[in-house]
Chain A
């Protein structure tokens, strides 16, 4: 069963900590995305990657960075976590050969920054 796996379902961190959110897909998809989901604001794109070692800023990149060293893994990094980064983080992937525009999402990581 093809899937997008996010390493943690729940995460609690302290202000100022460096936080890594990991995402792995097993479908050989070229594109990968990080969204954050907040009540009343929907899904907002943080960063995306078209392929290995490529990355582009989304709509709300401030305070975040990403890494894509291997095709199957896309990491979101909070350099110095702040309380306003408490949110649900969703990873998604898309295979242009396999499914065109269709995004496949992971189950999400609920991050709390105290």
Chain B
């Protein structure tokens, strides 16, 4: 089955700097890669996703890149703001007949004012 590794586990940046979170996956058949943001006391919320037929996707200050050959994908947040502080999860799809999501262990991002 799919295995998703996420790095780093914690990340601290200054407001206005960029933040990058990286994930690798094991199943070459995996074709959908979402990113979720979880704020304190809330459930995870989808912020951006990418499919395997696309190399990059951008939505305002966030972007995701995908390298299928290397089997890794990254989340980029530019011009970080304190409200970006949260735990971020990447995920890949388990293609073993169920297409269920397999999540990374999460990255706690802290944006210091």
Interface residue ranges, A against B (CB under 8 Å): 4, 33, 35, 40-45, 48, 56, 58, 90, 92, 101-108
Contact = CB atoms under 8 A, between A and B. Distances in A.
B34 A90 contact: no
Interface string B90-103: 00010000111111
Interface residues of B, number: 23
B113 interface: no
Contacts of B42: 107-108
Contacts of A33: 100
Interface string B73-113: 00000000000000001000100001111111110000000
Interface of B: 6, 9, 32, 34, 36, 41-46, 49, 89, 93, 98-106
Given A103-B46, A106-B43, A108-B43, A42 B100 contact: no
7 contacts: A42-B6, A42-B103, A43-B106, A44-B103, A45-B102, A103-B36, A103-B46
Given A40-B9, A42-B105, A43-B89, A105 B100 contact: no
A109 to B, nearest CB: 10
A56 B98 contact: yes
A45 B92 CA distance: 13
A102 B100 contact: no
Nearest to A58: B100
B49 A102 contact: yes
Contacts of B6: 42
A103 B105 contact: no
B100 A48 contact: yes
B93 A101 contact: yes
Contacts of B106: 42-43
A40 B108 CA distance: 10
A53 to B, nearest CB: 17
Contacts of B103: 35, 42-44
